Amino acid sequence: MNATIVEDKTSTEAHAYTPGLKVKKTTTVDKTRRLPILGEVFVKVGDIVEFNTVVARTEIKGNPEILKAAGVLGVEAEDVPRYLKKGVGDPIQEKEIIASLSALFGLIKKQLVAPFDGEIEAISEVTGQIIVRGKPVPVDVNAYIPGKVVEVMPKEGAVIETNAAFIQGIFGIGGERHGRIRIAVGSPEEELTASHIGEEDRGAVLVGGSMVSMEALRRAVDLGVSCIVVGGIRHTDLTSFIGEEIGVAITGQEEVGITVVVTEGFGRMTMSSTTFELLRHFEGYQASVNGATQIRAGVLRPEIIIPHQEETSEEVDELSAGMLPGTQVRIIRQPYFGAIGKVVRLPVELQQLESESYVRVLDVDLGTGKIVTIPRANVEIIEE
């Protein structure tokens, strides 16, 4: 390599490669609730909404089905229209006769019947096919968080705003739910087991510590727990719980009867004390939770939103805030996985790791009297 490298210099700012997960006690949360296609919006700016308030509704076109009319009737494609009892745009009912052919004084009878309620969409004289479409399917979008409508996108949806605590997890399964927060373990190091969960937890958002056991997951589903928030989960447990191995992380659609939010990672992982204490602070509050995760450049992480009335602290421009000496970071890879510390130094020059790679690094004070050198790519900023 023929690189010109500026020697012996310390940069004043750097950008963490992994976007930091947000753990905020008080912030303004805006949720855009949008229909997949245009429809009707039921709320107006200033309206107060609850978790389940329907904000907007639309109808998605029903499923089409292609009927091979020429084949069924045993005629040429261009002759199909002669036997039709319905035209394009006509409504149809299940089992209704769409086309029929009678020959040899009624000895031969062939009929084409409607597979479902709907309408005739197209008739092709080239292929002899008829396309029928089922009835439209209604789709509702609810508010998901209680709050105030601050913006309405005509025919599309609305933005709901609330004052809340906001916690992002690293990985989750299951979709949007809500429930009352209960801290089920004594400390962030403790594992959430089946014995921690009781009848009174129906509909709750249960907070565990470092891991959730398979038995605990099963019991939680049996008892109707709404959501589990936990530091870590075993790969084998997750696989057997959802019934398949996760290949690419696009989650949120699993129908497993519960939403799970993992805050730290896979394996036994002590929940960050900041996250645990924040959840404990709001024990008894109602929270909105979504496990949906899509990991492409950190686009979508699972979230816990706890609406409350405590005062809003001043907002910081998160996008421009880089990593500086003093920034609090979490180490996200071996050998110091999970450790939290403060950035001491950001040397510009590349440094060699144990793996022998030369990369840009930073020095982190772990607060235990130990300063360690970590690749810049292996930390995330803790945003509080």
Determine the interface stretch with another protein among 100-108, 160-168, 303-311, 357-365 (rule: CB under 8 A). Answer: 357-365
Q: Closer to another protein at the Cβ: 128 or 179? A: 128
- To which residue do tokens 């589990």 refer? 228
Residue (of 265, 194, 190) closest to 234 by Cα position: 265
Among 45, 48, 54, 66, binds another protein (CB under 8 A): 66
Give the integer Cα–Cα distance in Å for 115 and 151.
42
What is the dihedral angle through the alpha carbons of 156, 162, 167, 171, rounded to the nearest 10 degrees?
Answer: -20
Q: Closer to another protein at the Cβ: 234 or 281? A: 234
- Number of residues that this document lists for the chain: 384
Q: E strands along 69-175, which residues?
A: 91-92, 97-103, 108-113, 118-123, 129-134, 137-142, 147-153, 157-168, 171-173
> Rounded to an integer, what is the distance from CA 90 to the centroid of its chain?
40
Determine the interface stretch with another protein among 15-23, 51-59, 96-104, 179-187 (rule: CB under 8 A). Answer: 15-23
What is the pattern of x (binds another protein, CB under 8 A) and - over residues 180-219?
A: ----------------------------------------
- To which residue do tokens 């479409």 refer? 133
Binding residues with another protein: total (CB under 8 A):
66
Query: Should residue 89 be labelled a site residue for another protein when binding is judged by CB under 8 A?
Result: no
Query: Should residue 324 be labelled a site residue for another protein when binding is judged by CB under 8 A?
Result: no
Query: Should residue 356 be labelled a site residue for another protein when binding is judged by CB under 8 A?
Result: yes
β-pair partners for 250: 294
Q: E strands along 35-82, which residues?
A: 40-41, 48-49, 54-60, 64-68
Q: Closer to another protein at the Cβ: 53 or 293? A: 293
Q: Closer to another protein at the Cβ: 306 or 361? A: 361
Q: Closer to another protein at the Cβ: 309 or 334? A: 334
The residues in 227-266 that bind another protein, with binding defined as CB under 8 A, are 234-236, 245-249, 265-266
CB of 281 to another protein, least distance (A): 26
Q: Is 374 in contact with 364 (CB distance < 8 Å)?
A: yes
Q: Closer to another protein at the Cβ: 77 or 221? A: 77
- Tokens coding 89: 């745009």
CB of 134 to another protein, least distance (A): 11
Please name the residue ranges forming H helices in the chain. 69-73, 214-222, 235-242, 273-281
Residue (of 258, 275, 257) closest to 210 by Cα position: 275
Q: Closer to another protein at the Cβ: 151 or 245? A: 245
Among 30, 37, 52, 96, binds another protein (CB under 8 A): 37
Three-state secondary-structure class, residue 277: helix
Residue (of 55, 53, 62) closest to 34 by Cα position: 55
Contacts to another protein by CB under 8 A:
1-6, 11, 15, 17-19, 37, 61, 63-66, 77, 121-122, 124, 126-127, 129, 131, 133, 170-171, 234-236, 245-249, 265-267, 293, 295-300, 318-319, 332-335, 337, 348, 353-359, 374-375, 377-378, 380
